[in-house]
Amino acid sequence: MSTRVRTRFAPSPTGNLHVGGARTALYSWLYAKKMGGDFVLRIEDTDQARSTKESVQVVLNDLKWLGYDWSEGPEVGGPLGPYYQSERLSIYKEHTERLLKAKKAYYCFCTDERLEKMKEEAIKAGRPPHYDRTCSHVSYEDAKARLEKGEKGAVRFKIPSGKDAYTFKDIIRGEVTFPSDMVGDFVILRSDGMPVYNFCCVVDDALMGITHVLRAEEHLSNTLRQMMIYESFEYPLPTFGHLSIILGADKQKLSKRHGATSCKQYEEMGFLPEAMTNFLALLGWSSPDGKEILNKEDLIKNFDLDRLHGAAAVFDEVKLKWMNATYLRELPHLDLWKRVEPFLASAGLPLTSSLWKDSGWQDKTLSVFKTSMETLKDAVPLYQLLDDETFKIQEEAKEVFTWESTKAVLAEWKKQVEGHTGDDFTEADFNTMQDAVKTNCNVKGKFLFMPLRVAVIGKAHGAELKQLVPCMKKSSLLRRAEIVSKEI
């Protein structure tokens, strides 16, 4: 019987989820889904100064926004918890004791000054700055007695002798070999009693039955220490995959310098989680048929560890915008409106007015606007055009008032609006009114179109009036026409 696949995402909660972290979470989630396995969320919060309740919540919210639901972990629990490392200290302590008793680890009482000096000397002499094992001869009993008396000691892992190298097969990088002497006896439990990442990670992955560890490339070098720890407990090694690095458009490692790097920022910029997921999936993986637009179901169906690749991935925001626009335009209008609403609300638009609350109007306006939207936030300037309160004649538009024909054009437009029966306009209504202005004032081209635009939206350029006017009420057009006619 094959083992049930169990993947995990193990963030250290130190702020918003970075897009790289989100990609790691996504691949782990996808693989678990694909294989009908479990996706475990573990919070690596042993750095208590940096991990607050709030910072954990931020990461959980980001994952929820993306929709990567975990089968075990915070909020949902599970049989192999706790899922916060800060609540697992007794487990690490017990594991440390096991290694101490088996002489696979020992207490070290060296002071920081001594360690620093030893390191400097080693570097000067051209030796690797490994710990010189001074304390490896302190027996377990003596160490306990010293601790009892109040001395501070850390626990060091003893690098096993008799093995020159450690080799494992990385899903992405193939066979990776580390010479054993790359590391010296390393600390697994600090003198303040806090265990270190490499130790907790192994203990947890082993006890939580994790079968596949997907994580950032920067953790590749940690794998040597981790393999040694697995071996010392005789725990089976999981399958590792170290994901390719993510670069900015300039081919440098993606950083704040490039602009937005966290999921939250993209959310605030008006990106959809669906688009973000599709985009992240392709940063290090490709679909077998080369398709680029793949929703979650497609991704789950097609995802395969074999197609993860090690080449650096470039975070191309232009592509992300294109994907976002694609997803956005596919959304049912009811759903799209719900997502656009918070952006309109924070721009102070009149969402509570009866017109803006009308679902027929929402549907009509979205059909007009969505083709001009790449992000949800792009809706703001478009809807602003329909807000009477902020209607204003733009400076650049004032040129139209210097043309001789404008006064008559504006007066005729106002007359046409006044004469319209009913409160709403169709595209045909608008065309008829515009034609009437054209004939009655004997104007055409920019002398017709630009003053009309100013009369409707306060600007001489942009927006197709034949699309916009049907989104407006007679009272609104009249009010605007009056404001504009006062300008001349």
By annotation, the residues acting in catalysis are: 256
At residue 84, φ and ψ (nearest 5 deg) are -105, 125
CA nearest 205: which of 171, 176, 170, 240? Answer: 240
Rounded Cα distance, 354 and 351, in Å: 8
Within positions 329 to 358, which residues make up the interface with ligand GLU, using CB under 6 A? none
Tokens of 65: 């926004």
Comparing CB distances to ligand GLU, the nearer of 85 and 434 is: 85
Q: Which long-range contacts (CB under 8 A, 24 or more apart) does 418-422 make?
A: 418/478, 420/474, 422/474
- CA torsion sign for 71, 235, 197, 168 is negative
- Closer CB to ligand GLU, residue 12 or residue 61? 12
Point out which span in 4-12, 162-170, 228-236, 440-448 binds ligand GLU (CB under 6 A). 4-12
Element (H, E) at 189: strand 187-189
295 sits near ligand GLU (criterion: CB under 6 A): no
**Pick from 5, 6, 7, 11: which binds ligand GLU (CB under 6 A)?**
11
Q: Which of 17, 110, 201, 448 touches ligand GLU by CB under 6 A?
A: 201
Comparison of 228 and 409: residue with beta carbon closer to ligand GLU = 228
| Nearest distance from C-beta of residue 17 to ligand GLU, angstroms | 10
CB of 57 to ligand GLU, least distance (A): 16
With CB under 6 A as the contact rule, the residue among 219, 339, 415, 479 that binds ligand GLU is: 219
Decide if residue 23 touches ligand GLU (CB under 6 A): no
Q: Which is nearer to ligand GLU, 12 or 384 (CB)?
A: 12
Q: How far apart are CA 34 and CA 36, in angstroms?
A: 6
263 is a contact residue toward ligand GLU (CB under 6 A) = no
- Report the residue number, 19 or 450, with the smaller CB distance to ligand GLU: 19
Would you list the DSSP string of 399-453?
GGGGSTTHHHHHHHHHHHHHH--SS---HHHHHHHHHHHHHHHT--THHHHHHHH
* Nearer CB in complex with ligand GLU: 14/440: 14
CB-nearer residue toward ligand GLU: 215 or 414? 215
User: Residue 111's Cα: distance from chain center in Å?
Assistant: 42
Residue 163 burial (CB count, 10 A): 11
Name which position in 5, 7, 10, 393 contacts ligand GLU (CB under 6 A): 10
Stretch 30-89 residues interacting with ligand GLU (CB under 6 A): 44
Closer residue to ligand GLU in complex, CB, 194/408 = 194
Evaluate whether 455 touches 484 at the Cβ level (below 8 Å): yes
Q: How far is the CB of 312 from ligand GLU (least distance, A)?
A: 18
Q: What does the longest C-alpha to C-alpha distance in the chain come to? A: 106
Could you tell me the smallest distance in angstroms from the CB atom of residue 45 to ligand GLU? 9
239 binds ligand GLU (CB under 6 A): no
Determine, following the binding rule CB under 6 A, whether residue 171 of this chain makes contact with ligand GLU.
Answer: no
Residues 405-444 that bind ligand GLU (CB under 6 A): none
The residues, any chain, with a CB within 8 Å of residue 262's CB and separated by 6 or more, are 15, 16, 17, 18, 19, 62
Closest distance of CB 304 from ligand GLU, Å? 21
Q: Could you say whether residue 284 binds ligand GLU (CB under 6 A)?
A: no
Whole-number Å distance between alpha carbons of 397 and 463: 14
Give the interface segment with ligand GLU, choosing from 7-15, 50-58, 238-246, 399-407 (CB under 6 A): 7-15
215 binds ligand GLU (CB under 6 A): yes
Q: Which amino acid is at 298?
A: D
Tell me: does residue 220 bind ligand GLU (CB under 6 A). no
CB atoms within 10 A of CB 411: 16
Kindly state the tokens that stand for 298: 């497609």
* C-alpha to C-alpha distance for 405 and 443, rounded to whole angstroms: 7
Q: How far is the CB of 213 from ligand GLU (least distance, A)?
A: 6
Comparing every residue's Cβ against ligand GLU, the nearest one is 215
End-to-end CA distance of the chain: 85
For the purposes of burial, counting CB atoms within 10 Å of the CB of 101, is it exposed (0-12), middle (13-18) or buried (19 or more)? exposed
Considering only the stretches 8-16, 173-181, 281-289, 375-383, report the one whose residues sit in contact with ligand GLU under the rule CB under 6 A. 8-16
| Residues of this chain that bind ligand GLU (CB under 6 A) | 10-12, 44, 201, 215, 219
